[in-house]
Structure 1
Amino acid sequence: MTANPRTQIFQVSTLYGAATLAAALDAGRFGAREGVRRILLVSNNAEIPETALRLDAMTGYDRIATRFDEAIDWNEAIHPHHPSSWSPRPEEAPLWQRVFRTAWGLGTAPVELIVESIQVNPAKALAAVFAESTVEVYADGLMSYGPTRDELPQSIACRIRRLLHLDLVPGLRPLLLAEYDVEPELVPDTAFRAVLTEIAEAAGDDRQLAEAAAAEPTALLLGQYLAALGILTADEEEELHVRMLRGAAAAGHTSVVFKPHPTAPARYSTALHEAAEASGVRLTVLDGPLLAETFYERCRPRLVVGCFSTAMLTASVYYDVPIARVGTDTVLERLRPYENSNRVPLTVVDHVVPDLESGEGPAVPGAAPATLTPLVRAVGYCMQPRLHPLLRPETAEFLRALQGEGGAERYFLRERLTELGLPGGDGRRGASRLRRRLVRSGRS
């Protein structure tokens, strides 16, 4: 290896994201390893990182880390700042680059950045520090199908070369970064599944997983962190989990595992256990440092239930496990603001995954139905109209057709349609708001 080899910095905050990167590396998406120094830059973005589970404590992390020359802790590098809030002032960015080049032994080597969520920190901060570096973005879940959360500075947008993503909804094209003509590129299914198998093998002696498997569960319930995000109250989220359990019991499952989200606060009451006892269901809580996919690999469930977790689609796409949703209607009503980045993942799951409580049987959704792409593009436009102005005509046409079917109110808030002057809103109020906005724009 040369004295100053070309360096690739892979920024990661979740094991699922690290698995996505590992699969892309194994599939040759980042070229040959020879002559390249690869750094895994680990960030803990939890609200209170000191109390959250560290990525390097997750089962299977060590296997992933072998693909890199070294791992660096981003939280330590910028201490005492928080990864989600710290970004260098423009005039300080060159100084910070010198600091990191010295601390990480980069010398004068060219640096390539591979980051997640480029619209927010820490990815945005890294792109600002290494201002001359190329940028590649990878998406580790359903959010790749939604629009970019915020408009990017042109100094960053012009450097993004591609978007790597998993084929979680075959046939659906990501909206993320589409406004900058960034081409999406699939991480091969076979490579990702092989990495998941590798991670599961690392859990071979995990006591908690062995105990869960001994219960011979046939269904897995996926918790999320909706209360922590302020979407539901803690009691409402707990009731959501109870509904999942009752739905699984009604479908005939007598041994069920509950898997809390890795970043969700540790808050349990007796409600879920009481519901299990009342339903005659054996309940096991699997709250160890494991991916849900490790459970799929080891226990082969016949049902996975969630609200709108990415792990639901992983179960169906990579393991052919039937899936079902619970509570998406409630979350659709509560989700604010309209441009909340969870809206497209929620819309996708609500549209393609059967509702467990409505009598629909669980299913493996398969390829995206013809109705999904126009729906996602219309929701995406309503979320970020400034970033996707060319989607307005087709969105208006889609909404006019939807009005005739009486389904617009499920995915589109009337207030939002009014604000944008689209079918389904109050036309007169929308026109008035539009005139006021144009007047303000003219004055500025």
Structure 2
Amino acid sequence: MRDTTQIFQVSTLYGAATLAAALDAGQFGPRGSARRVLLVSNNAGTPETALRLDEMRGYTRIASRFDDVISWNDAIRPYHPSTWGPRGSDVGLWQKAFRLAWDIDEHELIELAVESIQVNPGRALAAIFSEASVHVYADGLMSYGPTRDRLPLTLSSRIQRLLHLDLIPGLTPLLLSEYGVAPEIVPDAAFRAVLDEISQDTAEDPQLAPVLQEAPTAVLLGQYLAAINILSVDEEEDLHLRMLAGAAAAGHKSVVFKPHPTAPASYSQALTKAAAEAGVRLTVLDAPLLAETLYHHARPELVVGCFSTAMVTASHYYGTPVGRVGTALVMGRLKPYPNSNRVPLAIVDHLVADLERDADPATVGAAPASLSPLVRAMGFCMQPTAYAELRETTADWLRAQLGSLPAGYFPDARLAELGLPSSAQARAKLQVRRAKRVVRRAVRRAGNG
């Protein structure tokens, strides 16, 4: 009889690749020590019409690491994975039902690995398997930001660790730190090996071939900012046009645009017209491929985006220079202040060259000394109750730095709400210091005269 079943919940190929790397690195024990189940969740608004994980190139190689693959959508149909969770009185019944359906003995231990413990389906799985130990894995820049919602002690005490990619060496994730959850890095070599493995599956992909024939030297990354109501459709379309203009200004004449799967076709049409007017060859890669697969095969000299994690993976794992466009616009639009995109956006804004200010694209190295205090201060302002111990250090840091920070990082209204130094006060103090320096210089000149 088996002793343990490990259930790995995923919704994206990037997340599945992160788990595969952790498995390959032995972070879940040796193969054969437990039954491994890949539980696939499609969290799109309309899952029936959205791209499925098993349609992504490279999925088969990832799935081969598991003993069984199960669809969470099928298991809970007709409910939606993002909204469904069991009622408290029903969790025992659901556990019995899933153990029976998934061939898990009633005495068998269960371990869960979920991509987010704050929302469903991870939250629902943790409730159903209420005795299971929980491992959380974070596959992007959001691991550096704060935990979005307070977790009950019965759940937080079961979380064993936070597995994450070391995208910004030297920056420690804030996520789940208030519960004493230790972060654990998924080794770079293991993750890069998984990305290379996925890329091998796409070498002969018919949708990739025409892109490679154009020998693109720059990649533009579309996101889904209109789909989540941060920008309007017109604003996001304009953002892509600005990316193209930035790449062209940097000297690139062959560019590939990789739209987000939820993007409307009009985005590509507008870019095609703008590229023709700018004398740039544009190809569009609207295919079920990871951006990293494109980096592997095309070897671009530049990747342009707003604040996509794929920008940082281009730099960290492929040594490709990156440039940003539109981060200030998006920072000003994020609502409410605790929006989970805020820290990833600030990281990219802080580290990546702004193409619209003639900055030279470059790779992102280790975290500078200025980054961790910024992330911690922002994390406190986003979730002041969870990170109450950061109040004094945040206040001290704001007094010293706020006057020089970009607009939108710490809005005056939020600072006033939290009783922290405001930017108006900081600007006033900065003006006083500058005035004093001017007076001192004038006095010195008079004395020398």
TM (norm. structure 2) is: 0.93
Provide the rounded CA distance (Å) in 2 between the counterparts of 1:101 and 1:267.
46
> Which residue number in structure 1 is paired with residue 12 of structure 2?
14
SS in 2 for 1:270: helix
Q: Does 1:238 align with 2:237?
A: yes
Residues 166-225 of structure 1, C-alpha deviation per residue, up to 9 Å, x if partnerless? 011111000000000000000000000000000000002101111100000000000000
Aligned to 1:332: 331
Aligned partners of 1:216 and 1:35: how far apart in 2?
Answer: 46
In structure 2, distance between residues paired with 1:80 and 1:6 = 29
Q: CA deviation at 1:115?
A: 0.4
1:77 partner letter: A
Equivalent-residue separation in structure 1 for 2:90 and 2:81 (angstroms) = 17
Instruction: Report deviation, 1:153.
Output: 1.4
Within-5 A mapping of 1:81-92: 81-92=79-90
Q: Find the counterpart in structure 2 of residue 27 from structure 1.
A: 25
- Structure 1: runs of 5 or more not aligned: 428-444
Task: Name the Cα RMSD after superposition.
Answer: 1.2
Match in the other structure for 2:42 = 44
Cα pair distance change 1:223/1:269, threshold 3 Å: closer
Shift of 1:57: 0.3
Q: Read off the aligned partner of 2:10 and give its amino acid letter.
A: V
For residues 407 and 227 of structure 1, the distance between their equivalents in structure 2, rounded to whole angstroms, comes to 27
Letter matched to residue 204 of structure 2 = D
CA shift digits 1:328-362 (9 cap, x unpaired): 00001111000000000000000000001101000
Specify the alignment match of 2:377 in structure 1.
378
CA distance in 1, matches of 2:268, 2:294: 23
Counterparts of 2:295 and 2:183, CA distance in 1: 28
Q: Deviations over 1:353-389 (max 9, x none)?
A: 0001101000002001110000000000000001000
Instruction: Please state how far the C-alpha of 1:406 moved relative to its aligned partner.
Output: 3.4
Task: Note closer, same or farther for the CA distance 1:409–1:250 as it changes in structure 2 (3 Å cut).
Answer: closer
User: Secondary structure, in 3 states, of the residue corresponding to 2:365?
Assistant: coil
- What stretches of structure 2 of length at least 5 have no aligned partner? 426-449
Cα contact 1:7–1:37 (8 A) shared by 2: yes
1:18 shift after superposition: 0.3
The one-letter amino acid paired with 2:421 is P
In the alignment, structure 1 residue 247 sits paired with structure 2 residue 246 = yes
Question: Displacement, 1:265?
Answer: 5.0
CA contact (8 A) 2:291 2:310 kept: yes
In the TM superposition, residue 4 of structure 1 has moved relative to its aligned partner by 3.3
> For residues 131-179 of structure 1, what are the alpha-carbon distances to aligned partners after superposition, in whole Å with 9 as ceiling and x for unaligned?
0000000000000000011001111100000000001111100000000
Give the Cα separation in 2 of the matches to 1:99 and 1:267: 45
3-state DSSP class of the match of 2:208? helix
Q: Indicate how the Cα distance of structure 1 residues 154 and 266 shifts in structure 2: closer, same or farther if over 3 A, else same.
A: farther
Alignment length, in residue pairs?
Answer: 424
Partner of 2:67: 69
| Aligned residues of 1:46 and 1:263 also touching (Cα < 8 A) | no
Name the % identity: 65
Letter in 2 for 1:374: P
Residues 429-440 of structure 1: pairs in structure 2 closer than 5 A: none
Task: Return the alpha-carbon distance in structure 1 between the equivalents of residues 341 and 248 of structure 2.
Answer: 28
Q: Where does 1:254-269 land on structure 2 (aligned, <5 Å)?
A: 254-264=253-263, 266-268=265-267
Aligned partners of 1:418 and 1:424 also within 8 Å = yes
Structure 1 residue 117: deviation in Å?
1.0
Distance in 2 between residues matched to 1:68 and 1:269, nearest whole Å: 37
- The one-letter code of the counterpart of 1:299 is A
Tell me whether 1:225 sits opposite 2:251 in the alignment: no
The 1-side partners of 2:248 and 2:57 are apart by: 30
Q: Is the 8 A contact 1:418 1:426 kept in 2?
A: no
1:407 to partner: Cα distance: 2.1
8 A contact 1:225–1:265 mirrored in 2 = no
Q: Which runs of structure 2 are paired with 1:124-143 in the superposition (5 Å)?
A: 124-143=123-142
Q: In structure 2, which of residues 96, 99, 106 is the aligned counterpart of residue 98 of structure 1?
A: 96
Identify the residue that residue 358 of structure 1 maps to in structure 2. 357
1:189 aligned onto 2:188: yes
Letter in structure 1 aligned against 2:20: A
The structure 1 segments of at least 4 consecutive aligned residues displaced by more than 3 Å after TM superposition are 262-269
Cα deviation, residue 425, structure 1: 6.3
Matched, 1:198 2:183: no
Match of 2:444 in 1: none
Q: Secondary structure at the match of 1:221?
A: strand
From the superposition, tell whether residues 76 and 265 of structure 1 become closer, same or farther in structure 2 (CA, over 3 Å).
farther
1:153 aligns with 2:176: no
3-state SS of paired residue (1:252): coil
Per the normalisation by structure 1, the TM-score is 0.94
Change (3 A) 1:75 1:265: farther
Q: Could you tell me how far apart the structure 1 residues matched to 2:121 and 2:414 are?
A: 30
Contact kept in structure 1, 2:268 and 2:284, CA below 8 Å: no
Preserved CA contact (<8 Å) 1:418 1:425: no
Q: Distance in 1 between the 2:345 and 2:15 partners?
A: 19
Change in CA separation of 1:417 and 1:41 when aligned onto 2, cut-off 3 Å = same
C-alpha separation in 1, matches of 2:225 and 2:293: 23
Task: Indicate whether 1:421 and 2:416 are aligned.
Answer: no
Could you say what secondary structure the match of 2:207 adopts?
helix
In structure 2, how many angstroms separate the alpha carbons of the residues matched to 1:85 and 1:270? 34
Distance 1:60 1:5 in 2: 31
1:118-129 aligned at under 5 Å gives the runs: 118-129=117-128
Counterparts of 1:393-408 in structure 2 under 5 Å? 393-403=392-402, 405-407=403-405
Q: C-alpha distance in 2, partners of 1:269/1:299?
A: 20
Counterparts of 1:367 and 1:212, CA distance in 2: 32
